[in-house]
Chains A and B, each alone.
Chain A
Amino acid sequence: MSRNRPFTPKVLTANLLRDGDVVYYTESDRWSLNLADAEVLEDEAHAQMRLVEADDPAVVVGVYLADVIRTDSGIAPAHFREDFRAAGPTNYDHGKAHGQRPGSEV
């Protein structure tokens, strides 16, 4: 990460090992199917520490930090790729994230 750029808000995301679901890391050290449950990381040092803490290879695959933006209704992905990961594909209304209630931790 460039030291010249100001740190922008991020969340930790990955796929579950067993079934591949997109998940987000919460403040309570659990993985949630919902982006809204994610812990928003505002500081680079803290984000790097949480990245290490979250990376449990028995539970998840490919943990990384994804940019988010704050909106009136909460947080939203900063990039459209993360939009699709959070909401599921746009050709069917059956993404695994669809219909999940807030707080559905796994």
Chain B
Amino acid sequence: MYHYSDFDRDFLAERNAQFRAQVERRLDGSLTEDEFKPLRLMNGVYLQLHAYMLRVAIPYGTLSSDQMRVLAELAERWDKGYGHFTTRQNIQYNWPKLTDIPDMLDRLSDVGLHAIQTSGNTIRNVTADHFAGAAGDEVADPRPVAELLRQWSTDHPEFQFLPRKFKIAVTGSVNDRAVTRAHDIGLLLKEQDGVVGVEVIIGGGLGRTPMIGKTVREFLPLDDLLPYCEAIVSVYNRLGRRDNKYKARIKITVHENGIDTMRDLIEARFAEVKPLFSGVDRQMLAGIEAQFARPDFVANTPAPILDPVLQSFVDTNVTAHRRDDHAIVTISIKKHGETPGDATTAQMNLMADLADAHAYGELRISHEQNVILPHVRRDALPELFAALKSAGLGTANVGLASDIIACPGMDYCALATARSIPVAQGIATRIDELKIEHEVGHLKIKISGCINACGHHHVGHIGILGLDRAGVENYQITLGGDHTQTTVIGERAGPGFAYDQVVPAIERLIFAYLDVRQSADETFIDTFRRLGAAPFKAALYPQEKQDAA
């Protein structure tokens, strides 16, 4: 893992001192709210519906156990005993007092964490494959590249006032778990003739106008990564529309100018900026890579699993590690009926302890709002599962229908137009009552409480979008979305549903799938691709089917 240098520590201390002074000046009246708001946003402090919210970046989703313990401590000392893991590998605290936030930031800095650029029209937290460094299908660990990008983009003087926010995701596997094609820049590390390079994708994004990113360079030498990214953001900074907030993201810039024009402009700019990079970026990457050395794995011989409950957990929550005697364990933060992504102080502390005991002190946060222990000795799985279960963290539902992404929605978010969390809770509870999710199998349900699509509803197999229709919560359902390397934007099924009709509608969809699938091996999305939307629409709108008969 990357460890802060003296430069990093000094930078953060200075930045935190600045923010502390800014808060003091706001409280004593020296700063107006209009002057203070952009300053607090630059430090991850929002004012939401009920309270301030502090969004802390977890760079590329990687945490040490010590960092996780500090996240737990913040929840206990300055919040309401829990934190909310988000779809951008951040953690949000929903209830801090403005007067406490400087102390929270100081405590975070003790373990190399911060909230800088978790808001504003800047380059946000760089996200990555949550199985990075552990996955068996990995060409290269994406985290050193992500860390290099983090250092480059943090406080980058040219990119603090972009036309709009800017998100970068990196993956090093052919199986894309980082939703790279739905990011402003998506980076796919790949190998060609034994050399690792990067496929560069630009102009992806969800939100009001969902678009799948387009490849601008098929294979960029790794050495050129920073100057090329600098060229992309520089071109966007110049061309991106500042006249209309809804047309300001790079996806619109690419759409309006065309990928070929954008490529020409980026390549021209790249030729200008490349000589300015003296090679220090490559030296830095080499230094960073050395810090991401794998742990000294302990060889072990696991006993056969005889406990069917443990076997069920392993079947859903465990992924193949690059070593046969280790496993990647996904801890579901989606116990049926609970708030997706919320972990209590006790749970965070336990996960940190378990990481130390069984996983070389490392954790990851996924964009799917779960926590991952990336390197677990297989002989420790029984003990690990028992400990997780005792803390309400043993739910065997990863990748299943109740493993739902849900944004905070109108329960917390000032931008939301409807609630997300109780819809997710309702669906998960109903699925648990029906005891069908293991029979249903792989199914991605994603819920957003507004058109900004933080809940990634566009790329859910079943997507749910909450809207305000004439003063009433209303939910549109989309079908057939795909967040992987074969990214697809889901299609809207038809008229929306009232709040109390969403759970029954999803239940009908699931039973329709069970009725029409060819076999238990045919997943929901495969069935949808084979048959199209018709049988699912018929299940969603049975009255219309009758009317048409």
Contact = CB atoms under 8 A, between A and B. Distances in A.
Nearest to B422: A90
Interface residues of A, number: 26
A99 interface: no
B51 A89 contact: no
Nearest to B338: A91
Contact of B411 (A78, A84, A97): A84
A19 B101 CA distance: 10
Interface string B6-32: 000000000000000000001101001
A29 B468 CA distance: 33
A17 B98 contact: yes
A91 B412 CA distance: 10
B99 A19 contact: yes
Interface stretch (A3-11, A35-43, A44-52, A57-65): A57-65
B50 interface: yes
B98 A20 contact: yes
Contacts of A96: 50-51, 95
Contacts of A101: none
A9 to B, nearest CB: 16
Which of A18, A22, A85, A88 has most B Cβ within 10 Å?
Answer: A18
Contact of B51 (A21, A62, A79): A21
B385 interface: no
B50 A85 contact: yes
A32 interface: no
A88 B50 CA distance: 7
A18 B27 contact: yes
B473 interface: yes
B472 interface: yes
B97 A18 contact: yes
A91 B97 CA distance: 21
A84 B412 CA distance: 9
B50 A21 contact: yes
A19 B80 CA distance: 13
B52 interface: yes
Given A58-B29, A84-B49, A96-B51, A18 B98 contact: yes
28 contacts: A15-B51, A17-B33, A18-B27, A18-B97, A18-B98, A19-B52, A19-B97, A19-B98, A19-B99, A20-B48, A20-B95, A20-B97, A21-B51, A57-B32, A61-B47, A62-B33, A80-B468, A80-B473, A84-B419, A88-B50, A89-B421, A90-B411, A91-B422, A92-B80, A94-B80, A95-B50, A96-B50, A96-B51
Interface of A: 15, 17-22, 57-58, 61-62, 78-81, 84-85, 88-92, 94-97
Given A20-B50, A20-B97, A91-B339, 8 more contacts: A17-B26, A84-B49, A84-B410, A89-B411, A89-B421, A91-B411, A91-B421, A96-B95
Interface of B: 26-27, 29, 32-33, 47-52, 80, 95, 97-99, 339, 410-412, 419, 421-422, 425, 468, 471-473
